[in-house]
Amino acid sequence: MAILKQLATLLAIIGALNWGLIGLFDFNVVTAIFGSGSTLTQIIYVLVGLSGLWLLVDWFRKK
């Protein structure tokens, strides 16, 4: 379970950094690497979203 949490944290950090770059420089790293609208891009976005959701649930579960 610890590895899953580390992976989720890593994906959430990558997502946060990507959003920071979008906000500051209008540059999306994910679409720059994998292409806009590609299946792989969508999978990455879903994985980042699920990671954030999992970390949120885990955070509330520990309170």
Q: What is the pLDDT of residue 43?
A: 96
Hey, what long-range contacts does 35-44 have (CB within 8 A, 24 or more apart)?
A: none
pLDDT digits (tens, 9 = 90+) for 32-59: 999 999 999 999 999 999 999 999 999 9
Query: Among residues of the chain, what percentage have pLDDT more than 70?
Result: 100
Q: 0.85 exceeded by the pTM?
A: yes
pLDDT score, position 1: 78
Q: Among 59, 44, 60, which residue's Cα sits nearest to residue 10?
A: 44
12 neighbors 56 (Cβ within 8 angstroms): no
The average confidence (pLDDT) of the chain is 95
Long-range contacts (CB closer than 8 Å, 24 or more residues apart) made by 16-21: 18/48
At 63, the pLDDT band (50, 70, 90 cuts) reads confident
Nearest of 17, 16, 18 to residue 52 by alpha carbon: 16
